[in-house]
Structure 1
Amino acid sequence: MQCRLGCGACCIAPSISSKIPGMVQGKPAGVRCVQLDDNNLCKLFGDPSRPKVCEQFKACPDVCGDTSAQAMFNITELERLT
């Protein structure tokens, strides 16, 4: 599965404990990453400073569902459960 351009759920819903440029303490769940642009695209995509956890995330139907709204719900729920 390819990421849906402009979704951004994986950059908003989960907490990220890794250092992110502009967010040196990481990112709390439900907070928009400062590296997410106005089109919900990662400004660090392909940049070596992009956190490994972000680089390793792979979109899949079980997590991302059929819509961006489903992805946000699913990732928020997974965050809540962990």
Structure 2
Amino acid sequence: MECRTGCAACCIAISISSPIPGMEDGKPAGVRCVQLTADNRCSIFGHPDRPAVCSGLQASVDMCGDSDQEAFHILKRLEEETKPGF
């Protein structure tokens, strides 16, 4: 499966604990990554500064569903289920 252009669910819905250029402490869940452009594309895609966790994500039906909205729902649920103390 290929990423849906402009979806950006994984760049917004989930927390990222790795440093991101412009977000040295990572980003909390639900916060838009500062590296997203206005059309929801990663401005550091393919650059060495891109966190390994980001480049390691692979689009899949289990993670992305059938629409951008479904991807947000799935990723938000996964984020909540993986919080300590859930």
Q: 3-state DSSP class of the match of 1:77?
A: helix
Q: Distance in 2 between matches of 1:35 and 1:5?
A: 15
The CA RMSD over aligned residues, in Å, is: 0.3
Could you tell me which residue of structure 2 aligns to residue 68 of structure 1? Answer: 68
User: What displacement does 1:76 show?
Assistant: 0.5
Q: For residues 39-67 of structure 1, what are the alpha-carbon distances to aligned partners after superposition, in whole Å with 9 as ceiling and x for unaligned?
A: 11000100000000000000000110000
Quick one: which amino acid aligns to residue 12 of structure 1? Answer: I
Give the paired residue count: 82
Q: Which is greater in Rg?
A: 2
Quick one: which amino acid aligns to residue 55 of structure 1? Answer: S
* TM-score, normalised relative to structure 2: 0.94
Structure 1 residue ranges, 4+ long, deviating more than 6 angstroms after superposition: none
Could you tell me which residue of structure 2 aligns to residue 49 of structure 1? Answer: 49
Could you tell me which residue of structure 2 aligns to residue 33 of structure 1? Answer: 33
Could you tell me which residue of structure 2 aligns to residue 14 of structure 1? Answer: 14
Gap regions ≥5 residues in structure 2: none
